[in-house]
Amino acid sequence: MRILYLTHYFPPEIGAASSRAYSMVRWLARFGHEVSVLTGFPSYLMEDMPESYRGRRWMQEDMDGMVVYRAWRYTSSSRSNWRRMANYLSFVASAWWYGRRLSGPFDVIVVSSPPLFLGLAGVALSRYWHVPMVLEVRDIWPETAVDVGVFKAGSLMERIWSHLADFIYHRAAGVVAVTRDIHARLQARGVPAELVHFVPNGVDLELVDRSAPSARKRLGLEDKFVALFAGLIGVMQNVVSVVEAAALLQENEQIHFLIVGGGARREEVAQRIADLKLSNVTLLPPQPREEMPGILNMADVCLATLAKDVRGAVPYKLLEAWAYEKPIVAAVGDEGGSLVEECQGGISVPGDDPQALAAAILQIFTDRKSGRVWGRNGRRCIEERLNREVLTRKMESVLLAVVNSAEEAPDVSKS
């Protein structure tokens, strides 16, 4: 197949969305498909744009057997909602403008959402190239926004987003859900059941480096029991609860919390650490991709938290911790919590409960043997159920089915 993959996030950007996109297309290319990636110039969770990308509006580069096209998008150091919206919409326009100029033809277009807006470019390009579009849904909007209080149910913004979602979902020849909750919600929105496919998130085990030197010495944490949170510090992640748990354990001088990441709530987290005068917390900005294996290898336990009202999510940081054979303490709600229990990979606690979070960390600190067993169980779960190579085969089968259906009914992209 000749695949055009649209994504807002891609390496060298860091984060779950970038990791999923990269490992997915890398394996599709490895399986012999001709993959073109259309993305923006890197800026997300990065202090500075790499020099090789600065001042450019369009470029092409080869990466691991695929062609990556980068188009201009508005960027700003400000994290205001309006500037973020400008970032999203500018890339929709660029993706449409430059996407028509690619050296097609293609057999299928895959769009990774969020941001949901990118689906507009996908719809337009699928019509331009007369090929089907498959929408990959990693977070369902506007439902998630309502869950965490960004929109009020029934508000004007919620209704606008809902109409946009319906417009995009019902123009996709296939929709891929990364969690079972998203799978169910898509069908509840009226997306035909036969078009909705479940391909969960996973880890590319070829990119996991458990031999990387530990970062303990570099960070001055040689004698500490390290509880690590590494990832986005945003509205949904509730990282403040990690800080509150640290406050409850500050009298135990052996336990140290390491928070690595950036996002809309990072300043709030930093301020809470300062207000509580916590000496048992280190807050680091997003680290280069090559530094993360050493940081993960140093952890004694990894933390995954979400706001208590977030439904049906399985954070990538949870899966990545298991890939590095680390036990997890997860405050991630129903679906993620069930996975932790099924895989016996750590302790699941209620969301937004710092006391329960602290108690679970203390339990693993006290019972290191059980922690090691949970880490091994988690690794086995990744190998057997959530291996990105195997999951990409499932994605490949979805794309092949969509392409075959489109060949039988050539006008599917215009419906």
Percent of the chain with pLDDT strictly greater than 90? 70
Mean of the pLDDT values across residues 281-308? Answer: 93
**What's the confidence (pLDDT) of residue 120?**
96
Mean of the pLDDT values across residues 3-24? Answer: 91
Whether the pLDDT of residue 95 is over 80: the answer is yes
Buried b (16+ CB within 10 A) or exposed e, 364-390: bbeeeeebeebbebbbebbeeebbbbe
- Using CA atoms, how far residue 244 sits from 248, 278, 289, 324, 351, in Å, is 7, 10, 28, 26, 13
- Ordered by where they begin, the domains of the chain are 2-202+387-414 (3.40.50.2000), 205-385 (3.40.50.2000)
Mean pLDDT, the chain, integer: 90
Whether the pLDDT of residue 413 is over 60: the answer is no
pTM as predicted: 0.88
Local confidence band at 240 (pLDDT 50, 70, 90 cut-offs)? very high
Sort strands 58-63 and 66-71 into parallel, antiparallel or unpaired: antiparallel
Each residue of 276-291: pLDDT tens digit?
A: 999 999 999 988 889 9
Whether the pLDDT of residue 108 is over 60: the answer is yes
Q: Are 186 and 176 in contact (CB under 8 A)?
A: no
- Using CA atoms, how far residue 134 sits from 6, 97, 339, 406, 413, in Å, is 10, 20, 27, 12, 11
**What's the confidence (pLDDT) of residue 311?**
76
Local confidence band at 148 (pLDDT 50, 70, 90 cut-offs)? low
Each residue of 318-347: pLDDT tens digit?
A: 999 999 999 999 999 888 999 999 999 999
Each residue of 199-220: pLDDT tens digit?
A: 999 999 999 999 999 999 999 9
Local confidence band at 159 (pLDDT 50, 70, 90 cut-offs)? confident
Local confidence band at 16 (pLDDT 50, 70, 90 cut-offs)? confident
Q: Are 45 and 284 in contact (CB under 8 A)?
A: no
Whether the pLDDT of residue 415 is over 70: the answer is no
Q: What is the largest CA-CA distance in the chain?
A: 68
- Using CA atoms, how far residue 102 sits from 11, 49, 188, 192, 414, in Å, is 20, 24, 36, 32, 20
**What's the confidence (pLDDT) of residue 161?**
82
- DSSP states along 250-276: TT-TTEEEEEE--STTHHHHHHHHHHT
**What's the confidence (pLDDT) of residue 412?**
42
Whether the pLDDT of residue 63 is over 60: the answer is yes
Whether the pLDDT of residue 173 is over 60: the answer is yes
Q: How far apart are CA 72 and CA 94, in angstroms?
A: 6
Whether the pLDDT of residue 241 is over 80: the answer is yes
Mean of the pLDDT values across residues 40-62? Answer: 80
Each residue of 70-82: pLDDT tens digit?
A: 999 888 665 666 7
**What's the confidence (pLDDT) of residue 248?**
97
**What's the confidence (pLDDT) of residue 334?**
84
Whether the pLDDT of residue 316 is over 70: the answer is yes
